[in-house]
Amino acid sequence: MHPGAAFSILEEVDNIPVASEGDILGAISQIIAKSFTGKVGYLLDMTEPDFDRDSLLMWHGGWRTFIFSK
């Protein structure tokens, strides 16, 4: 079971940076982003760059659904 819903609440409601899967560098990046902006960042994996179309597929474990549903 993935705690994606709990992560969404921690990030978007409580403004607490979250990184899963033992992603230490992701957690550090989240903390640094928050220290600069005051807002929690969005942790993504970048895959499938398509330079001809200037596009990039990005994904991760399923949280931050609130921000995309607005």
CA triplet 64, 4, 31: central angle to 5 degrees? 60
pLDDT interval class at 52 (50, 70, 90): very high
Domain holding 59, by residue range, is: 4-68
With 0-12 CB in 10 A as exposed, 13-18 as middle and 19+ as buried, what is 3?
middle
What is the pLDDT averaged over residues 39-65?
A: 80
- Which residue from 56, 17, 68 is spatially nearest to 40, judged by alpha carbons? 17
Q: Are 18 and 7 in contact (CB under 8 A)?
A: yes
Count up the domains in the chain and report the number. Answer: 1
Read off the pTM: 0.64
Whether pLDDT at 2 is above 80: no
